[in-house]
Structures are given as structure tokens and as C-alpha cells.
């Protein structure tokens, strides 16, 4: 049996998608996690946001986070499938120690970005 690790998966979909289309894209990747023997522990939508920098002439994207438990093969498959999906303009997979702490920290940041800006500085080592 493979060792299961914790990962935060950030997906950014093309902002031209409707809400229904973007939900379908994100559900597809949740299905991949399940089919590969992983488990989505938490998820959080951040909605349409301005990108930090332009990607393929796009300035906005739809952000969605998954907090998953799985193995390296699952991560490899997710990254492979992200590459095939033209609706995903950027993705990040980050190993985390504590899924609940990562999720709670993000939700705090999302609810009050100004008050919780220290979370970003702390996470980035600034």
C-alpha cells in the first residue's frame, strides 16, 4: 500500500467559463483524485480574481483549491490531466503537513485579506 501524503492543489480556470462550466471542470479533477485512490478532505472556491501576471494573454482566472490526501502517483496523474485540459490556465500542487491548518489559514485569509496578510508573509518566509 502506497504512503498517503497531504497536498494543496490550486487550480486556475479560464475566466471565460460560466459558473456551471467551471464547476464541471473542478468536479472532473475531484473525480480524478477519487479514481486514483485519493480523498478530497477540504475544498475552497475563491472565485474570479485578477491574475498576478498575464498568462496566455489572460488577465483573470477562476481560482479553486483542493486539500487532498493521496500519493505521488495521484499527483503525477493530476499534473498530466491539467496539461490536457485547455480550461486550466495554471495549477500548483504543494505538499503540506497539516491539511486542516492549511485550509483554515486560507479561509482566514480569504475572509479578511488585510487583517491576515501576515499569513502570506509567514508562509513565504518574508
What pTM did the predictor assign?
Answer: 0.81
Does 104 map to a domain?
no
Strands 58-70 vs 5-14: parallel, antiparallel or unpaired? antiparallel
Chain-centre distance for alpha carbon 32: 14
pLDDT tens string 35-61: 999 999 999 888 899 988 888 889 999
Does 89 map to a domain?
yes
Enclosing domain of residue 44 = 5-97
> How far apart, in whole angstroms, are the C-alpha atoms of residue 42 and residue 104?
10
Number of domains in the chain: 1
Please say whether the beta carbons of 78 and 31 come within 8 A. Answer: no
Choose among 10, 2, 19: nearest CA to 94: 10
pLDDT tens string 55-82: 888 999 999 999 999 998 999 999 999 9
- In 3-120, DSSP assigns E strands to 5-14, 39-55, 58-70, 88-95
Does 115 map to a domain?
no
CATH number for 58: 3.30.70.60
Q: What is residue 93's predicted lDDT score, i.e. its pLDDT?
A: 93
- Residues facing 45 on adjacent strands: 64
> Among residues of the chain, what percentage have pLDDT more than 70?
87
Chain-centre distance for alpha carbon 34: 15
Strands 88-95 vs 5-14: parallel, antiparallel or unpaired? antiparallel
Please say whether the beta carbons of 62 and 12 come within 8 A. Answer: yes
Does 87 map to a domain?
yes
> How far apart, in whole angstroms, are the C-alpha atoms of residue 71 and residue 106?
23
- pLDDT confidence of 117, banded at 50, 70, 90? low
Does 117 map to a domain?
no
- Residues facing 88 on adjacent strands: 13
Does 125 map to a domain?
no
Amino acid at each position: 500500500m502506497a504512503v498517503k501524503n497531504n497536498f494543496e492543489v490550486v487550480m486556475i480556470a479560464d475566466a471565460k467559463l460560466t459558473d456551471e462550466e467551471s464547476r464541471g471542470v473542478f468536479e472532473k479533477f475531484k473525480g480524478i483524485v477519487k479514481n486514483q485512490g485519493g480523498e478530497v478532505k477540504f475544498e475552497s472556491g475563491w472565485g474570479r480574481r485578477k491574475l498576478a501576471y498575464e498568462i496566455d494573454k489572460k488577465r483573470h482566472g477562476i481560482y479553486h483549491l483542493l486539500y487532498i490526501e493521496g500519493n505521488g502517483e495521484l499527483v503525477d496523474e493530476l499534473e498530466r490531466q491539467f496539461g490536457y485540459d485547455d480550461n486550466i490556465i495554471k495549477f500548483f500542487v504543494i505538499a503540506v503537513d497539516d491539511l486542516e491548518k492549511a485550509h483554515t489559514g486560507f479561509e482566514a485569509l480569504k475572509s479578511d485579506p488585510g487583517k491576515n496578510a501576515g499569513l502570506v508573509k509567514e508562509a513565504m518566509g518574508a
